[in-house]
Amino acid sequence: MDTIIGEDIRDAIKFLKLGEVIGIPTETVYGLAGNACDISAIKKIYSAKNRPNTNPLILHFASVQQIQPFVEDFPENLLKLTQKFWPGPLTILLRKSNLVPNEITANQDFVAVRIPNHVLLLSILSQLDFPLAAPSANTYGLVSPTSAKHVMQDLKGKIPFILDGGTCKNGLESTIIGLQEQKVVVYRLGAISLEELETELGYVPTIIKNINKKPLTSGMDEHHYAPKTPLHFYEKKLVNEATQNTGFIFFQEEHQEISDKNKIILSKSGSLNEAASKLYASLIEMDTRNFNAIYIERLPDEGLGKTMNDRLNRATLKFRK
Ligand code: TXA
Ligand code: MG
């Protein structure tokens, strides 16, 4: 199959109505989207990603009104949060209605929903009479794409079309929340920080770790979000052992002792938002430089730094002996 990158949302809409799955831009990462009410489109999503079908998909809508028929209820305290964070990178687990196919939720009673904040995608969603199921548009286990080019590199030949909506503004996946005993809990750290949620809620939401063998969300999967090149956390003493075949990703510091082709600085001004928007692109870029290993500096453990460290913990775990 030929894969083309285009900028016309009419092409995107045409493919989606035909039951095809395509790459779409969001404010977080690029998604692999299909008609959430069409079982054959859902199957195409799982197979293009090579993702186990035990791992459920997020539904994307243009408005709360569109969501209502797909959920049993929308608790008031969650609805209130959406006024602050939607459209935006907040995903909410709600009890599903019969309109949601079991293939979407991996037979669970809850469905994940969000209203994304991307002008092209919102326009598409408002013109469709079905929601879009969209996981991140990467092969299962790899780094999420933040540009149309990344999607092309990974999924060329597996999907017909990628809508180019520019570089993703946030660059990290949405934060996934739900309710437990009337309190908001976080299932996956994401582009909305714990601190931002705390400001709205008046308490720090508990992060639910993977306690059972079966992860409730794949954000809880241990090996995930990893580049192909072995990735490790940077420690100062390693620099002396560095060779031409070693890549480095630093948060802010210039590290003059290392040549430019061996390093990427995420944010010279020390902005965690900027670092977040560049993190995945930097990992993907480093992968193309064919190093033997990549060392990445741990980020400050606050705000989006927590989300980035969470992803990097999982990514480096894959290469730990
Ligand atoms: O920012 C995002 O959330 C991006 C963009 C494309 O919207 N999507 C994304 O999807 O990151 P994905 O599939 O790569 O990650 C979604 C996570 C998975 O860990 C999945 O297991 C979890 O959400 N999830 C989805 N539906 C769920 C459900 N019904 N119950 C529990 N976890 C669910
Ligand atoms: Mg993903």
- DSSP result, 145-190: P-SHHHHHHHHTTT-SEEE---S-SS-SPPEEEEEETTEEEEEE--
CA 39, chain centre distance (Å)? 23
Q: 154 versus 217: which is more confidently predicted?
A: 154
| pLDDT band with cut points at 50, 70 and 90 for residue 109 | very high
As a whole number of angstroms, the distance between CA 225 and CA 204 comes to: 26
Q: Is the pLDDT of residue 127 over 50?
A: yes
The pLDDT score that the predictor gives to residue 237 is 72
- Sequence-separated (6 or more) residues with CB below 8 Å from residue 205: 177, 183, 184, 185, 186, 194, 197, 198
The region that residue 53 occupies, defined by phi over 0 for left and psi between -120 and 50 for alpha, beta otherwise, is alpha
As a whole number of angstroms, the distance between CA 271 and CA 207 comes to: 24
Q: Is the pLDDT of residue 1 over 50?
A: yes
Q: Tens of pLDDT along 235-285?
A: 877 676 667 899 999 999 999 999 999 999 999 999 999 999 999 999 999
Q: 237 versus 14: which is more confidently predicted?
A: 14
Q: 237 versus 181: which is more confidently predicted?
A: 181
Contact between 319 and 292 under an 8 Å Cβ cutoff? The reply is no
Q: Which ligand minimizes its atom distance to the CA of 140?
A: 2
The pLDDT score that the predictor gives to residue 321 is 67
Q: How far is the CA of 174 from the centre of ligand 1 (A)?
A: 8
As a whole number of angstroms, the distance between CA 26 and CA 36 comes to: 17
Q: Is the CB of 216 under 6 A from ligand 1?
A: yes
| pLDDT band with cut points at 50, 70 and 90 for residue 221 | low
Q: Among 57, 72, 93, say which to mutate for ligand 1: greatest number of ligand atoms within 8 Å of CB.
A: 57
Q: Is the CB of 112 under 6 A from ligand 1?
A: yes
Kindly report the pTM of this predicted structure: 0.95
Q: Which atom of ligand 1 is nearest to the CA of 116?
A: 7
Query: What are the distances in angstroms from CA 124 to CA 13, 128, 135, 271?
Result: 7, 7, 17, 32
Amino acid identity of residue 64, one-letter, is: V
| pLDDT band with cut points at 50, 70 and 90 for residue 136 | very high
Q: How far is the CA of 263 from the centre of ligand 1 (A)?
A: 31
CA 169, chain centre distance (Å)? 12
100 three-class SS = coil
* Alpha helix segments (H runs only) across 192-293: 194-201, 272-288
Please state the rounded mean pLDDT for residues 57-66: 98
Q: How far is the CA of 255 from the centre of ligand 2 (A)?
A: 32
Q: How far is the CA of 6 from the centre of ligand 2 (A)?
A: 23
The angle subtended at Cα 226 by Cα 295 and Cα 212, nearest 5°, is 120
Average pLDDT, the chain: 94
Provide the β-strand partners of residue 114.
60
The angle subtended at Cα 233 by Cα 197 and Cα 191, nearest 5°, is 20
Q: Is the CB of 210 under 6 A from ligand 1?
A: no
| pLDDT band with cut points at 50, 70 and 90 for residue 8 | very high
